[in-house]
Amino acid sequence: MDLKSVIRGIPDFPKPGILFQDITPVMTDPEAYAAAVDGLVDLLDGVEFDTFAAIESRGFIFGGPLALDLEKGMVLVRKAGKLPADVRSVDYDLEYGSATLEIHSEAIQAGDSVMIVDDLLATGGTALATAQLVRECGGEVAGFLFLVELDFLKGREKLEAEAPVFSLVNYS
C-alpha cells in the first residue's frame, strides 16, 4: 500500500511555512494502519533488541502493535509530570521550542537493548533526548524506528551517530 497517498499534508501547521505530514488518516483506515505496522515490522527483520521505547504520544500508536507483533516489551517515554513513579528526565530543544521527557527510572535495566519508536523524524531532537534517557538508565540504543522521515531536515544525520535509523515513508 502507498502510505503517502493516505498521509495528508496540512499547510501552515503548526505555524506558517510548515507543511505538516498528518498521519491520523493512517489510523482511521484499518488497511493502511495494518500496512504501516507490517511495514515497520519488516524494517526490523534481523535486528536484535529487547524492548521498545515509545515516545509520547504518537510513538505509542505504533509501539503497542509492534511490541505485540514482535513479542517485546514497551517502555513509555512521556512528557513531564505524566509518570507516577520515580523518573529520569531530560530537557531538550525541538523544532518549535523546548520540552522535557521522562521515563520511569526502573523501566530499562542495565544492558537492555532498546529500539526507540516514534511516528515522525524531523530534526531528531526528541529521539536524541530519548536515547539519552535510555543510556542514563543503563540501556543501549539498538536503533530508531519511524513511520515518516522528513529527509530535508537531516535528523537522520544526528541519529546515525548513535544507532541505525529505520523509516518507512520518506519525504525529500
Task: Quick: pLDDT tens for 43-84.
Answer: 999 999 999 999 999 999 999 999 999 999 999 999 999 999
Residue 93's pLDDT is: 82
In order of their start, the domains of the chain are 47-171 (3.40.50.2020)
Checking if the pLDDT of 96 tops 70, the result is: no
Residues 125-159: tens digit of each pLDDT: 999 999 999 999 999 999 999 999 999 999 999 99
**Active-site residue identified among 56, 95, 136, 140:** 95
**Active-site residue identified among 8, 48, 56, 58:** 58
Active site residue 157: no
Residue 58's pLDDT is: 95
Alpha-carbon distance 137 to 118, whole Å? 19
Mean of all residue pLDDT scores within the chain? 96
Alpha-carbon distance 33 to 6, whole Å? 10
Alpha-carbon distance 169 to 7, whole Å? 10
Checking if the pLDDT of 104 tops 90, the result is: yes
pTM of the model: 0.96
Check residue 3 and report its DSSP letter: G
Residue 95's pLDDT is: 64
Active site residue 8: no
Residue 14's pLDDT is: 86
